Amino acid sequence: MEVFVCHRCGQCCQGQGGIVVSAAERQRLADYLGLDEATMTERYAQPQGSKWVLRSRADGYCVFYQDGVGCGVHPAKPDVCRAWPFFRGNILDPVSWQLAQEACPGIEPSGGHTRFAEAGRAYLQAHGLLKRGQPDEATALVLPPEEPA
Ligand code: SF4
Ligand code: SF4
């Protein structure tokens, strides 16, 4: 039993201000789009506190979302997009994991939270998605060390 299988519904690409882009991620997007970093950031991102987040369209979808297609910057998409639904809150808190199921039909409830958390940690680790908490990085990708069993 998988703990998560993406249905490609696009729901996680809707919502204001959730897609944090660090300096490294802004540069990755700029390279992909053939722009310099400052132009990419000005065009597609906006400041939010100490961080930058992707802009949203009027209907709430991410500026890079393409209707009927999906992510328009898939090879260069931000780390939070690669990591979802394995976010800190969903890994640490069974209630958050349960609530996340309402937003993301790909999370398999019968997989159970413990297995979800284990698989999530392993996925983030294997894909280099864990962050150390630099000011411009997504806190959703910062995890405390695992408790000894
Ligand atoms: S909301 Fe979940 S199932 Fe839908 S596209 Fe996003 S990750 Fe996949
Ligand atoms: S960058 Fe791509 S995957 Fe991330 S929210 Fe935007 S459209 Fe969705």
Model pLDDT for residues 116-130, shown as the tens digit of each residue: 999 999 999 999 999
* Nearest-angstrom CA–CA distance, 116 and 84: 12
Predicted confidence at residue 145, as pLDDT, reads 85
Quick check: 147 pLDDT over 90? no
Domain ranges within the chain, ordered by starting residue: 14-76, 82-141
pLDDT digits (tens, 9 = 90+) for 59-77: 999 999 999 999 999 999 9
Does the bond joining 109 to the residue before it have cis omega, within 30 degrees of 0? no
How many angstroms does the Cα of residue 148 sit away from the middle of ligand 2? 35
Q: Which ligand is nearest to the CA of 62?
A: 2
